[in-house]
Amino acid sequence: MTPFFECSYEGERFVCFDDTPPGEPLLLFPAPADTALALLDAGGSPDAFAEAVRGAGPGRLIPAAARGSVRPRPPVLPDAPGTAVAGGFMQTHNVKVAAEGEAAGPEHPNWFFKGPGSALRVCGEPLGVPAGSVAICEEAEVVLVYRTDEKGEPAYLGHTFGNDLTDIGRFRQNRAHLSYAKLCEASVSPWFFPGEPPRRVTGRVTVERAGRTAWEGEFRTGLDALHYPVESMTGNLFSHPGLRVPGTVHYVFLGADRSSFHAGFTIVDGDVLSLEFPDHGVTVTNPVHWL
């Protein structure tokens, strides 16, 4: 599996396959006009995709001193507005179903709309929280990415990792307000992983306040932690015609287990949230900002 990230530099889009340490030059390749379509053309092979991108034109070596001008992008995000949907499922994990006292759980978990693709942020960018939010929590999640073809059939492209910031306090006050609780911005890692979703993911959350660690905790996610088969979840989701508009890229957040909220911690304006996924070399870090 060859992961990559997309970025912009001097007004152009690029793809990078190397996790070059800071302080060293960065080799970038021109991005395909449609990254999702290029992944499909590669037949699901990450190596074939990498070979096609590298073979399409010469790379561009960015000097170490100019790396600050390289701006990561949400992976596979189309340029055209309105052609991507961010959403996901809640209470998908065994630990949450057990906490509800439901041995089997409902047939399908709740799905929520997070926003269009423009609701996604990458590392370092502030995550907007709607004014009047009750209690915010981070949610460390696996994010599946799909693209619907010309017939509206969804095709799985790969996955990344993200933070589904949520107003869990509003949901706890009124469970009918799930749709409102989820309308905080979300962050995703710019690193994209073609291939099957991971079965087991463990990591750590750190909340910094005024430059100091205010809270730390661990999380566990991945397919083995889910109460529901992922094929059942996504199969039911994409059975709805309204989500099968041809050419749409879907970011599907798979849910989280516990969060700082469950430990009794309260996130406030200006806190910096860092979600570490060490087995995949990914850290998602964002400040939160009340709008």
Is residue 255 predicted with pLDDT exceeding 80?
A: yes
Tens digits of residue pLDDT in 103-162: 566 788 999 999 999 999 999 999 999 989 999 999 999 999 999 999 999 999 999 999
Do residues 152 and 35 share a domain?
no
What is the pLDDT averaged over residues 10-38? 93
Q: Give the pLDDT score at 108.
A: 87
Domain boundary among 31, 49, 72: 72
Is residue 269 predicted with pLDDT exceeding 80?
A: yes
Q: Give the pLDDT score at 168.
A: 95
Q: What is the CATH number of the domain that holds 185?
A: 3.90.850.10
Helix, coil or strand: residue 199 = coil
Q: Is residue 37 part of a domain?
A: yes
Q: Is residue 104 part of a domain?
A: yes
Pair 76, 145: CB distance under 8 Å: yes
In the chain, the percentage of residues whose pLDDT exceeds 70 is 98
Is residue 289 predicted with pLDDT exceeding 90?
A: yes
Pair 129, 289: CB distance under 8 Å: yes
Domain with 173 in it:
84-290
The Cβ-side half-sphere exposure at 114, using a 13 Å CA radius, reads 31
Domain boundary among 52, 72, 92: 72
Do residues 66 and 92 share a domain?
no
Is residue 265 predicted with pLDDT exceeding 90?
A: yes
Q: Give the pLDDT score at 249.
A: 97
Into how many domains does the chain fold?
A: 2
Q: Give the pLDDT score at 172.
A: 92
Q: Is residue 238 part of a domain?
A: yes
How far apart are alpha carbons 106 and 175 in whole angstroms? Answer: 15
Tens digits of residue pLDDT in 65-103: 999 999 999 999 999 989 999 999 999 999 888 777 655
Do residues 223 and 272 share a domain?
yes
Q: Give the pLDDT score at 106.
A: 76
| Residue 214: how many other CB atoms lie within 10 Å | 16
Do residues 46 and 15 share a domain?
yes
| Residue 12: how many other CB atoms lie within 10 Å | 11
Do residues 59 and 118 share a domain?
no
How far apart are alpha carbons 119 and 291 in whole angstroms? Answer: 14
Is residue 199 predicted with pLDDT exceeding 80?
A: yes
In the chain, the percentage of residues whose pLDDT exceeds 90 is 87
Q: Is residue 77 part of a domain?
A: no
Q: Give the pLDDT score at 29.
A: 97
Question: What's the pTM?
Answer: 0.95
